[in-house]
Structure 1
Amino acid sequence: MTTQFIQLAKAAAADGQVTTDELLALRREGWGDGIITRAEAGALFALNNALMVRSTEWVDFFVEAIGEHVLNGTPPRLQCSDAEAAWLIAQIDHDGVVESMAELEAMVRIIERAENTAERLKNYVLGAVEREVLTGVGPTRCGGELSATHISAAECRIIRRVIFASGGHGPAAVTRYDAEMLFRLKDKTLAEENAPEWDDLFIDGVANFLKGFAFQNAQVGHERKLELEAFVADNTPSVARFMGRMLREGSQAGNHFGKVFGKRQSGPDYGALAAAGEAVTDHEREWLEKMIDADGAVDELESRLLARIAAEG
């Protein structure tokens, strides 16, 4: 399958376009064995770089295929390890820029779909969008005719998807890195006609960082996920007998699992942790004061942010 797939991709790259028949053939070959290999994914990147026009159908296929390779090409599923993130970034950043919306969307979709994503991938995407805002050049800019410090609706949507994604620092958890990026963009674009979505994005994002709550270890690490999947997949007689005996004993005389595993420890009080997370700490307050004082004045968005925090207790 891989050889035929790569040949199809090279033929399309030589023409600088993907016809409907070629795209259908790539889908057929790519999904024939249910796996997009590293060699096939590399061929897709080479083809994407060679295209003069990227149709909606091509972008959909490219995003889907690259996501399948990164998240499901090797166990554990739905995990983007640091090594996989490094490979993905190297494919895109070979010339120092994100050249197409296909590449940008592929990364964003991986972050959205993943149970866990290497922090470097999320930060790379946010850094790319920040450069586009500040330079006016990039795949979200339709040729870059907009002002260099204008935040577009497309950029707002990408930033929101990334900082609130399940595969980031934690489910819907905005990090300090994210919040400081939002402040930098705000300070650079105060005098510009930003997209209407920007105000709410800034306030939602920074407020989430200050008052949000992310469970400790909410993300299952790459190595731990491999261990768990290996245990579940182990169908050797010893494991089967062990689990069978535990189930029988549990049904006959209450919880016998405690005899084997020890007394169950009470779990964390998530209600109390959440309440603690809602409170703005002295450290967070000092950080916020530093960010607001950076430009020597309290602007309208910062005033609305402070009002939001106060209103929420």
Structure 2
Amino acid sequence: MLLECPDPRFQDGTFVMLIDGGSAEESEFADQSTGRIPLADYLATRKLTHIDVMANTHIHEDHISGLLPAAQAFPPAVLWMIPTAAFCCNEMQKLDVSLAQNTSQRKFMQAINDCQTLCRLVEDHGGRVETPVAGSARHLCNGLRYQVLAPVTERVEELEERLRQIFAAPKDVFLKTLDSVDCRMNNFSLMMLLDYCGTRILLPGDTNRVGYGGIDPAMLKADLFKVGHHGQIDGADQALIDRVQPRAVACCASSDRRYNSAHPDLLHMLKESGAELFFSDCPQLPGLDIPPHQALIFTIGENGSLTAQYL
């Protein structure tokens, strides 16, 4: 997700924030029929000159790995990362990806390796690595404010301990330990509420419906909701949708609907709530006719207007 906000205090008069980067694997972009392109290629089309804040919501390959080429082209001034910079740079260990016995294990090991590489790259270029935790909030630029809803500090510490268990695991239980952390990673996601001149945007990373515990329900109300976990059936339920009350929903589903992304039952619930549905890809589902596109662009006005277009 690329945010561009006008503010004369920043380079070229624009504050630029990048949240997650998609995959870096060529196979993810082999099908040209949807129009999808790698993040680095898209950034080139925008003629960007800088990134002020780069955020990775969690350590999965389809969220972190595409950030590496973006950071190489535009080293960010600040990187938001879960877990902490000290852990990423000093305790993360490179894993031997050849040990993987399936695609999920290979991708997760690659994500862990890329996490360390990304943090060191940013610091080597003079940037800062920060760990936002629940409760932190501030203005990012003119009109744009953020508040972190998750994770709390204790969850950050728990994630670091689980990663240590991977690095310390004996060979005979290494893959089992890896899988255990992998399946829990989504609910360690950085969850943010952005507010631009009164228009609220809820960005939960891959948090699923059970990962909202402890969050003030009033904080979840949003005009634009990026539904969690790629719109899989556990991404939201009716109770969560009722709390969010979105005007528009963005679903970031892969074209081939791996793992049943853009689940029809969840999409039906969202549509029945009155929200308008948009997709960052072109899932092949009955009743959907989404034009091939490189990006889904939302424009938010100071008066609360919210419009969307497929580029």
Q: Same fold (TM over 0.5)?
A: no
- Name which one, 1 or 2, has greater alpha-carbon Rg: 1
Q: TM-score range by the shorter chain?
A: under 0.3
Superposition TM-score, scaled by structure 1 size: 0.24
Q: Which has the higher helix share?
A: 1
**Which structure shows the bigger proportion of residues in strand conformation?**
2
